[in-house]
Amino acid sequence: MAQVSLSSVQLIDRNGCFNVAGLDHFVRATELANHGVSYTVVAVMGPQSSGKSTLLNHLFGTKFIEMDASEGRSQTTQGIWIEKCAGIMPFTIAMDLEGTDGSERGEDDTAFEKQSALFALAIADVVLINMWCHDIGREHAANKPLLKTVFQVMMRLFGPRKTTLLFVIRDKTKTSLEKLDPILRRDIEKIWDAVPKPEAHKSTPLSEFFNVEVIALSSYEEKEEQFKEQVAELRERFFHSISPGGLAGDRRGVVPASGFSLSAKRIWKDIKENKDLDLPAHKVMVATVRCEEIANEKLHSLFANEVLFTFISLAGITGLIRTLFVSQYLVDLLQGWLALEADIQVHPVPEFRKRLDAVLDTCLSEYDRETIYFDDDVRTVKRQYLQSKALEEAYKRVPNWPAPTPAPAPPLAPARASIWSNLPAAVSVAVSVAGFVVNYLS
Ligand SMILES: Nc1nc2c(ncn2[C@@H]2O[C@H](COP(=O)(O)OP(=O)(O)OP(=O)(O)O)[C@@H](O)[C@H]2O)c(=O)[nH]1
Ligand SMILES: [Mg+2]
């Protein structure tokens, strides 16, 4: 497995091995998880040695490995690499794919090509399709098999994601883009029409699945200055790309950034196992796993940090120094809970439940904040789980307290009201989500 560098990370190697440690490192180093749904992924695909990595590097200030022209035209990028784009808002991840139809894999080995195309389509909001200008309108153009692959694999994603396919015509000639654009679109439509489709999509137009955009660039080798100017213009289009009207403005089914790692890992696993990718169900799975993880982190921070916090308090570590050890949220939470726990050890506290609810409110608000972009039904069910677990743990710590009676309806905040009033529905969602997870993992 490749080394983890500070810049680009080989996410998947040429044998299809997923670099879990590398991705975790990337997510931590770039603080991706803090970006909610304000992030985007841009992938590039196209024939080998067609200047894909060069384009990404100029467009995004990335440092993907480029071919050394003096060494000949051999395969440079192997597998799939990712890197954070420099200076672009929102947070944008560039994904550099191994070139297609390289002699290194041999003519018949298209498995990785298909798998990486499916992965890119499942993950990326914008896919750059790199192609040579002289291929436009040609019957045996290098990109045709690739496009066929892209369209075929899209059918396996269970529903349109409205990915933007941005065709990047390289080494443009004197023929203007106005002339090239319709010819290319006609070719694309022809390929789309010829692709076998499942019954449900027999007459679905290409535009239902993709936004198609076309641009043309001068040759980097022959007209470097013009190339750089045109790339600088294109770069502008990646700012605010997720806003309405932006390059990725129509995207659907975004996985919140804190679920990106898990999502990418699972998608690749399914692709390798040749399973169909049901992206809507996949999104629910990611929400289920992440919301439960976040709920457990909250429980852990409340009850498993007691000892650490008591030590810090006893050691007389206060104020600024203490906040270096634990976050302000945790300080508030633990101070509230530990004071209550200490009081209850010495005398009955008539306001116990009220004070406990105040502590739990802090805990639940943090949970709400961290899960805000995940599926509503799932986060509601996991909130309920967090609340009942926290109550159970809290009551266990009260001396001689009988088992807690079912919680009376607490003062209802809007989110909580929906839990209690929708409890039967929530339970049924819980059961179906649990069933899904079991099925998914088995
Ligand atoms: N003619 C031409 N050559 C280019 C252009 N951009 C880059 N190159 C050259 O093409 C060669 C390959 O560039 P890369 O960026 O490594 O190409 P790639 O598509 O990433 O290659 P693989 O990773 O092997 O698929 C290098 O020698 C580049 O200098 C271009 O616009 N036109
Ligand atoms: Mg490359």
Write out pLDDT tens, residues 7-61: 899 999 988 999 999 999 999 999 999 999 999 999 999 988 899 999 999 999 9
Distance (Å) from CA 76 to ligand 2 centroid = 5
CA of 47 to the centre of ligand 1 (A): 10
Regarding the beta carbon of 78 and ligand 1, being less than 6 Å apart is answered no
Q: Most confidently modeled of 106-120, 138-152, 250-264, 345-359?
A: 250-264
Q: Which atom of ligand 1 is nearest to the CA of 68?
A: 27
Residue 430: pLDDT band with limits 50, 70, 90: very low
pLDDT number for residue 295:
96
Residue 66 in contact with ligand 1 by CB distance below 6 A = yes
Asked whether the predicted pLDDT for residue 322 surpasses 60, the reply is no
Ligand 2 is an ion; its neighbours by CB within 5 Å are 52-53, 76-77
**H/E element, 415:** helix 414-421
* Comparison of pLDDT for 318 and 141, the residue scoring more: 141
Closest CA to 197 of 165, 147, 153, 162: 153
Residues 6+ apart with CB under 8 A from 12: 18, 19, 79, 80, 116, 119, 268
398 CA to centre of ligand 2 in angstroms = 62
Q: Supply the pLDDT for residue 103.
A: 62
Cβ-contact 124, 242 below 8 angstroms: no
Give the Cα separation of 236 and 246 in Å (integer).
Answer: 11
**CB 53 near ligand 1, within 6 Å:** yes
Q: For residue 287, how far is its CA from the centre of ligand 1 (angstroms)?
A: 39
What tokens were used for 114?
Answer: 């298909």
Residue nearest to atom 17 of ligand 1 (CA): 51
Smallest-distance ligand from the CA of 216: 1
Q: How confident is the model at residue 339 (pLDDT cuts 50, 70, 90)?
A: confident
Residue type, position 102, single letter:
G
Angle ∠(201,248,45) on CA atoms, nearest 5: 75
Q: pLDDT tens digits for 231-266?
A: 999 999 999 999 999 999 989 889 999 999 999 999
As a whole number of angstroms, the distance between CA 258 and CA 29 comes to 13
Q: What is the CA(73)–ligand 1 centre distance, in A?
A: 8
Q: How far is the CA of 3 from the centre of ligand 1 (A)?
A: 24
Per DSSP bridges, beta strands 80-84 and 91-97 are antiparallel
- What is the C-alpha to C-alpha distance for residues 340 and 347, in angstroms, rounded to an integer? 11
- Indicate which residue's Cα is closest to atom 8 of ligand 1: 51
- Sequence ranges of the domains in the chain: 9-258, 284-441
Closest residue to atom 32 of ligand 1, CA basis? 219
Number of H helices, E strands in the chain: 16, 7
Q: Which of 119, 116, 141, 117 is nearest to 131 (CA)?
A: 141
Check pLDDT > 70 for residue 433: no
Distance, in Å, from the CA atom of 398 to the CA atom of 386, rounded to the nearest integer, reads 19
Closest ligand 1 atom to residue 57 Cα is 15
Note the helical H segments in 304-351. Answer: 306-314, 319-325, 328-346
Of 377 and 209, the structure prediction assigns the larger pLDDT to 377
Q: Whose CA is nearest to atom 29 of ligand 1?
A: 69
Which pLDDT score is estimated for 326?
59
DSSP result, 347-400: S--TTHHHHHHHHHHHHHHHHHHHHTTS-HHHHHHHHHHHHHHHHHHHHHTSTT
Joined tokens for residue 96: 């550099």
Cβ density class 275-299: b for 16+ within 10 Å, e for less: eebbbeebbbbbbbbbbbbbbeebb
The answer, yes or no, to whether the previous bond of 414 is cis (omega within 30 of 0) is no
Ligand 1 and 75: CB distance under 6 A: yes
SS3 433: helix
For a mutational test of ligand 1's pocket, the pick from 10, 14, 64, 66, i.e. the residue with the most ligand atoms closer than 8 A to its C-beta, is: 66
Q: At 434, is the pLDDT very low, low, confident or very high (cuts 50, 70, 90)?
A: very low
Distance 131 CA to ligand 2 centre (A): 14
Q: Is this model's pTM higher than 0.75 or not? A: yes
Contacts from 348-352 at CB under 8 Å and sequence distance 24+?
A: 352/398
Which architecture characterizes domain 9-258 according to CATH? 3-Layer(aba) Sandwich (3.40)
Q: How far apart are CA 188 and CA 182, in angstroms?
A: 10
Q: What is the mean pLDDT of the chain?
A: 82
Q: Among 97-101, 153-157, 287-291, 355-359, which stretch is predicted with the lowest mean pLDDT?
A: 153-157
Pairing of strands 126-132, 163-170: parallel
Place of tokens 């409890």: 423
Per-residue model confidence as pLDDT tens digits over 71-117: 666 778 889 999 999 999 999 999 999 988 766 666 666 788 889 98
Does ligand 1 lie within 6 Å of residue 76's CB atom? yes
- 54 CB under 6 A from ligand 1? yes
